[in-house]
């Protein structure tokens, strides 16, 4: 079985099934198609399937031209999971959010696996890329595969290879970002390395799926803890009337032993606000309290309230109340220069300020209409154009995401009040408040 699969992969005869066509799955499909593989895309969202088959992209940094090229290569998108039997490799790129109790929600992974299991066959490899806690691949996926009577490592192959997509990053892409891969057995690892080596410049093997799962969590916890540290430093510096961004820039001149991280209004994206909680949850099974990680999570979760406090204080200094004020939030995306809103702190800021009586508007050149979100209320809003007249009409402009396409000179010249949570303005001004 293994030799046949390896031969198909080497000859580019293998059919690749990408399950979940979002910010991770779609770039991966494009990359596999680039090197000559036939791709089947599976997704539960018929809207995504329809758009792709019409040659349209729903991700800003992926052009319609690239989708056209994908279709010309023979790509098919479908909601029919029975097509999984046609694939030699199945790669799962589905969400792993938190539930309302801030505990891991594996429903997307498990529901997807349950939908695929009846259509699995011998000789396939299945790779999970979704971020999760150590043990998911061998504790949750392997038993489901074994219900078909398959012997994992002999006639079916199972690996975990965490995604490392960074939407909007022009320095790195799917091909150039090294890929960690762990297998349930040595044969599984061999199949995983063969699969990913055809599309990724460097594959990094580890000893097990659990080691690969923990690698992904460590990468993101490292960032979450350091961002938590610098967010706490921001609060200290604010009390001391010191510009934390000036301090970070100065510290970053040290050529060793320091990596700059920057504070903000809260954590966003599909990794940093979520992944640490996967490890803290699993660690409790082993009687371990991850106090360091949880403290960073508390600090980062408190940042929206810190920012709103700065807005309230700045308005109060001008004899205004947040209740009844018009607030323009700059940036809906969770980070600059992308259209990705997953876990964006901007939405949290908008919800909380509206609950306190403010009238909310937003401006984001990457998100022209406020979308429907799974875990947040819907604002019936469209992006406000940053004209001098529009900017001047708001009591406060809150910089939540510092997109490069914003005209910061127009904002500075015409805004009554600016609360800057991203350190965009280097020079102090009477109407600019750091948050």
Whether residue 334 contacts residue 268, with contact meaning beta carbons closer than 8 Å, is answered with yes
69: three-class secondary structure by DSSP: helix
CA 80 to chain centre: 26
CA distances (Å), origin 59, targets 73, 333, 367, 384: 20, 13, 11, 21
Whether residue 178 contacts residue 200, with contact meaning beta carbons closer than 8 Å, is answered with yes
Q: In angstroms, rounded to a whole number, what is the distance separating the alpha carbons of residues 156 and 184?
A: 11
The DSSP annotation for 187-221 comes to HHHHHHHHHHHTT-S-EEEES-HHHHHHHHHHHHH
CA distances (Å), origin 369, targets 139, 201, 334: 41, 38, 16
Q: Identify the CA nearest to 22 among candidates 56, 58, 55, 51.
A: 58
Q: Identify the CA nearest to 325 among candidates 415, 401, 410.
A: 415
Residues 6+ apart with CB under 8 A from 114: 144
Task: Tell me the torsion sign for CA atoms 335, 336, 341, 346.
Answer: positive
Q: Identify the CA nearest to 262 among candidates 420, 398, 407, 430.
A: 420
Q: Looking at the annotation, which residues are catalytic?
A: 271
Q: In angstroms, rounded to a whole number, what is the distance separating the alpha carbons of residues 400 and 326?
A: 16
CB atoms within 10 A of CB 409: 8
Residues 6+ apart with CB under 8 A from 12: 35, 36, 37, 198
Buried b (16+ CB within 10 A) or exposed e, 21-45: bbbbbbbbbbbbbeeebbbbbbbbe
8: three-class secondary structure by DSSP: helix
Whether residue 270 contacts residue 343, with contact meaning beta carbons closer than 8 Å, is answered with yes
CB atoms within 10 A of CB 421: 29
Task: Tell me the torsion sign for CA atoms 18, 20, 21, 23.
Answer: negative
């Amino acid at each position: 079985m293994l030799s046949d699969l390896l031969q198909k992969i080497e000859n580019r005869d293998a059919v690749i099934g990408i399950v979940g066509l979002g910010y991770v799955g779609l770039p991966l499909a494009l990359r596999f198609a680039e090197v000559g593989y036939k791709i089947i895309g599976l997704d539960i969202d018929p809207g995504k399937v329809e758009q792709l088959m019409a040659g349209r992209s729903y991700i800003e940094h992926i052009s319609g031209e690239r989708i056209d090229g994908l279709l010309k290569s023979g790509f098919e998108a479908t909601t029919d999971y029975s097509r999984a039997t046609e694939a030699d490799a199945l790669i799962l790129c589905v969400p792993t959010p938190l539930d309302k109790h801030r505990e891991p929600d594996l429903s997307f992974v498990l529901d997807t696996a349950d939908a695929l299991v009846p259509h699995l066959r011998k000789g396939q490899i299945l790779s999970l890329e979704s971020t999760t806690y150590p043990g998911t691949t061998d504790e949750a996926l392997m038993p489901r595969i074994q219900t078909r009577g398959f012997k994992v490592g002999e006639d079916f192959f199972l690996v975990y290879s965490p995604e490392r997509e960074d939407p909007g990053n022009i320095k790195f892409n799917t091909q150039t970002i090294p890929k960690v891969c762990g297998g349930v057995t040595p044969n599984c690892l061999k199949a995983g390395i063969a699969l990913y080596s055809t599309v990724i410049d460097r594959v990094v093997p580890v000893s097990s799926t659990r080691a690969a799962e923990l690698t992904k969590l460590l990468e993101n916890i490292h960032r979450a803890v350091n961002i938590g540290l610098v967010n706490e430093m921001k609060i200290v510096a604010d009390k001391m009337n010191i510009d934390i961004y000036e301090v970070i820039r100065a510290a970053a001149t040290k050529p060793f032993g320091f990596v700059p991280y920057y504070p903000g209004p809260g954590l966003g994206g599909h990794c940093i606000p979520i992944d640490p909680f996967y490890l803290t949850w699993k660690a409790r099974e082993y009687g371990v309290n991850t106090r360091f990680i949880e403290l960073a999570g508390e600090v980062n979760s408190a940042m929206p309230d810190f920012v709103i406090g700065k807005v309230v204080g700045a308005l109060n200094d001008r004899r205004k109340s947040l209740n009844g004020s018009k607030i323009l939030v700059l940036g809906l995306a969770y980070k600059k220069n992308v259209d990705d809103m997953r876990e964006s702190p901007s939405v949290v800021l908008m919800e909380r300020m509206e609950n306190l009586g403010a009238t909310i508007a937003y401006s984001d050149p990457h998100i022209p209409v406020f979308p429907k979100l799974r875990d947040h209320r819907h604002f019936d809003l469209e992006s406000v154009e940053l004209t001098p007249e529009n900017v001047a009409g708001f009591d406060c402009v809150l910089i939540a995401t510092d997109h490069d396409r914003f005209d910061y000179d127009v904002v500075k010249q015409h805004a009554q009040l600016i609360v800057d949570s991203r350190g965009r303005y280097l020079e102090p001004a009477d109407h600019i408040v750091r948050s």
